[in-house]
Amino acid sequence: MTTVRAAFAWRRPSVIPGFGPAMGFTLFYLTMIVLIPLAALALRPWEHGVAGVWKTLSDDRVLAALRLSFGAALIASALNVVMGVIVAWALVRYRFPGKGLVDAAVDLPFALPTAVAGIALATLYGPHGWIGGLFFPLGIKIAYTPLGVLIALIAVGLPFVVRTVQPILAEAEVEIEDAAATLGATQWQWFSRVLLPALTPAVITGFSLAFARAVGEYGSVIFIAGNMPMRSEIAPLLIVTKLEQFDYAGAAAIGLAMLVLSFAALMVINGLQLVAARRGSAR
């Protein structure tokens, strides 16, 4: 009797059957595939104590890699916000030949394997590539420099922004533009007072998705990066290097640091989103 009452206390009774098996399988699978592995990631860095983690993370090479991964992700996502909004705007507002193709192409970075994107970008921006070859004679090297890392992160992040902004833009522009126009607002007023507040939460979401993806990106980066320690070596690659030296605790420490840092960044972004939402509703 008590067990039945306890069960009711944490779930509302329902005539639909299957809660037990479905919940049981969900939790079992979640535990085996996600929770136990992540427990290993959370616990293994501390094998040599806090000092061991500190030693790994305070290494200049590790710090340089973390700085590059997070810094390039930040710049790439910021640029993708600007370009993503422009692309979403063009797709929502304008009719033009080839629109279907452009719309479909936006999703390609979601579907294209990262290794394929990686070797394509490395070849394209290499000294003899279609694009790299144009810049090389001017003394500008793109592939095998931090600039190459940035190019790769820009290439993978665009769809996150476009696909979060596009539906909001489609809804907002019809409903709000008409209302604003009838009330006599100028284009600029409409843009800054009406569209921008409506769009900000979606832009922030798109930014954070692109950022999270870019921080951990591996396949599309390592071919074009050149992977020079202290200069163009990304944090995920250092994890691989540590593993190859059987330094499991060190690899786990870098992995955990990446995870904690990106969650911290996402929490700041979520905080911004709350502020933006409050400001939007206050108007």
Partner 1 sequence: MTARVAARPSGPGWILLAIAVAWIGLTILTPLALVFSEAVRKGWSAYLTAIVEPDALSAIKLTLLVAAIAVPLNAVFGVAAAWTVTKFEFRGKALLLSLIDLPFSLSPVISGLVWVLLFGANGWFGPLLNKWGIQVIFNVTGIVLATVLVTFPFVARELIPLMQSQGTDEELAAITLGAGGWSTFWRVTVPNIRWGLLYGVLLCNARAMGEFGAVSVISGHIRGQTNTMPLHVEVLYNDYNIGAAFAVASLLAGLALVTLAAKSALEWRIARADLNAIGG
Residue among 5, 95, 278, 283 that touches partner 1 (CB under 8 A): 95
Binding to partner 1 in span 196-215, by CB under 8 A: 212, 215
Contact pattern from residue 157 through residue 196 relative to partner 1, giving x for each residue in contact according to CB under 8 A and a dash for the rest? -x-----------xx--xx---------------------
Of residues 132 and 197, the one with the C-beta less far from partner 1 = 132
Residue 87 binding partner 1, by CB under 8 A: yes
CA distances from 103 to 84, 137, 164, 202, 203 (A): 12, 35, 14, 18, 18
Give the CA angle between residues 224, 226, 230 to the nearest 5°: 130
State the chain's maximal CA–CA distance in angstroms: 82
Contact pattern from residue 55 through residue 84 relative to partner 1, giving x for each residue in contact according to CB under 8 A and a dash for the rest? ----------------------------x-
DSSP string, 23-37: HHHHHHHHIIIIIHH
Instruction: Read off the tokens for 11.
Output: 């779930």
CA dihedral 226, 228, 233, 237 (to 10 degrees): 80
Residue 269 binding partner 1, by CB under 8 A: no
Contact pattern from residue 105 through residue 144 relative to partner 1, giving x for each residue in contact according to CB under 8 A and a dash for the rest? xxxxxxxxxxxxxxxxx-xx----xxx-------------
Residue 260 binding partner 1, by CB under 8 A: no
* Residue type at 149 in one-letter notation: V
Is the Cα dihedral 43, 49, 54, 56 positive or negative? negative
Residue among 90, 196, 269, 272 that touches partner 1 (CB under 8 A): 90
In whole angstroms, the minimum distance from the beta carbon of 282 to partner 1 comes to: 25
Q: Give the list of residues 6+ apart from residue 251 with CB closer than 8 angstroms, or none.
A: 239, 240, 242, 243
In whole angstroms, the minimum distance from the beta carbon of 277 to partner 1 comes to: 18
Total of residues contacting partner 1 (CB under 8 A): 91
Residue 22 binding partner 1, by CB under 8 A: yes
Of residues 146 and 236, the one with the C-beta less far from partner 1 = 236
